[in-house]
Amino acid sequence: MIKHYVEFCYPGIIVSETSSKECDNRNHLQIEFPEGSDGFRFFDREVKEGKTGELVGKRHNISGWYYRGIVKTQADIVYEQPDSILAKNMVNNKIEKVLMSIHGQALGLNEDDTVLRSD
């Protein structure tokens, strides 16, 4: 049987922290952000009943991230924070846009990521 899961990301000291839980479906409109969460994504796993319990397969069908925050372009960051490490990294690595999360973290955006709201 295929089971659906939602994975939440939270600000971390060096990298984002994550947690996941099973969900009924992959409708992003039905997901509520837990306290402190910047975003979520979906994934599926095949789960079978074994002799000693459930056998859980690898993650597959992984969605893009759904974030809360504001999209900032490289030009925005360079203008607002010209001497920041973020501005220098964006210029040097040719990063065109980032998400500024509601918790103040700059997160890279992929083509399949979605910004839902900025509250």
pLDDT tens-digit series, residues 27-62: 999 999 999 999 999 999 999 988 898 889 999 999
Q: Is residue 36 part of a domain?
A: yes
Contacts of 32 (CB under 8 A, 6+ apart): none
Share of the chain above pLDDT 70, in %: 98
Q: Does one domain contain both 41 and 74?
A: no
pTM: predicted TM-score of the whole model, two decimal places: 0.85
Rounded to whole angstroms, the Cα distance separating 31 from 83 reads 38
Q: Is residue 93 part of a domain?
A: yes
Q: Is residue 61 part of a domain?
A: no
Rounded to whole angstroms, the Cα distance separating 64 from 41 reads 6
Rounded to whole angstroms, the Cα distance separating 113 from 109 reads 6
Q: Does one domain contain both 78 and 107?
A: yes
pLDDT band for 13, please (50, 70, 90 cuts): confident
Supply the range of the domain harboring residue 19.
2-56
Contact assessment for residue 80 and residue 49, using Cβ atoms and an 8 Å cutoff: no
Q: Does one domain contain both 50 and 77?
A: no
Contacts of 99 (CB under 8 A, 6+ apart): 67, 69, 70, 71, 72, 106, 107, 108, 109, 113, 115
Our count of domains for the chain comes to: 2
Q: What is the token pair recorded at 13? A: 């000291």
Q: Is residue 75 part of a domain?
A: yes
Distances (CA, A) of 113 to 15, 54, 93: 18, 31, 20
pLDDT band for 118, please (50, 70, 90 cuts): low
Q: Is residue 88 part of a domain?
A: yes
Q: Does one domain contain both 80 and 113?
A: yes
